[in-house]
A = this chain, B = another copy of it.
Amino acid sequence: MRNLRLDLCYDGTRYRGWQRLGDREDTIQGRLETALSRILGEPIQVSGSGRTDAGVHARGQVASFHCESLMACEDIQNALRRYLPEDIGIYSCKEAAPRFHARLSAREKTYLYRLWVSPEPCVFQRRYVTVLSERLDLAAMEKAAGYLVGEHDFSAFCGNARMKKSTVRTLTSIRIDCDGPELHLRYTGNGFLQGMARILTGTLVEVGRGDRSPESIPELFGKKRAEAGFLAPPQGLCLEEVRY
């Protein structure tokens, strides 16, 4: 069996997220598996580096799959580009090491959350940002981000109430940058719980609004979901990069 790696991007606006839901055609995994199965003439199961929620985008998603077909990688890549809708883009299809697995081999991921913090209209970026009208205290957000970085039990930042495995993760860095009318929150870590990047964003926004103090952040570790901030909307979030 060959083991292949796909690098891809997508506009998540009209999808129910990464994970295939039965025979529905409105997930990224579903689209990829349908396309690959037809192109290669055999049933294909794709593993993503992680699931993105409904409406979340990706500029640097990675997937892997096994196949029997001997079709050249470049031909698979070109067939996928022709076959997939214009909101899913294939950067490359390449031969991977036999033990490479898009999810299990991932070392680190970076997610970017884009907040539109200007009173100017955001017509052309509206599908990729979340608009906030209040002023945010960036110094307080930076301080709160400092408390979040490190190895912690992020149970309060997990959207899956029935999560039975460990909720301990390591956040390597949180970068906060102003980019014209936008505020960018960039999270890098060794793994992200369901909804984690969006709940981190909601919590930092609450700190920025003054509704929560930076010093209260360490009290959240190991606590219940209700203790942390709101779940920021999906369209501002993008999976930027996965490192192996």
Contact = CB atoms under 8 A, between A and B. Distances in A.
A93 interface: no
Contacts of A91: 120-121
Interface residues of A, number: 19
B10 A89 contact: no
B126 A87 contact: yes
A87 B123 contact: yes
Copies in the complex: 2
Contacts of A81: 121
Interface in A78-137: 81, 86-91, 120-124, 126, 128
A11 interface: yes
A9 B87 contact: no
Nearest to A125: B124
Nearest to A124: B11
Contact of A124 (B121, B126, B128): B128
Contacts of A9: 121, 123-124
Interface string A18-58: 00000000000000000000000000000000000000010
Contact of A89 (B59, B121, B128): B121
A121 B59 CA distance: 10
Q: Which of A10, A11, A59, A123 has the most CB of B within 10 A?
A: A123
Contacts of A59: 124
Contacts of A11: 123-124, 126
A12 to B, nearest CB: 10
A86 B129 CA distance: 13
Contacts of A126: 11, 86-87
Nearest to A81: B121
A113 to B, nearest CB: 16
A169 to B, nearest CB: 28
19 contacts: A9-B121, A9-B124, A10-B123, A11-B124, A11-B126, A57-B124, A81-B121, A86-B126, A87-B123, A87-B126, A88-B121, A88-B123, A89-B120, A89-B121, A89-B123, A90-B121, A91-B120, A91-B121, A124-B128
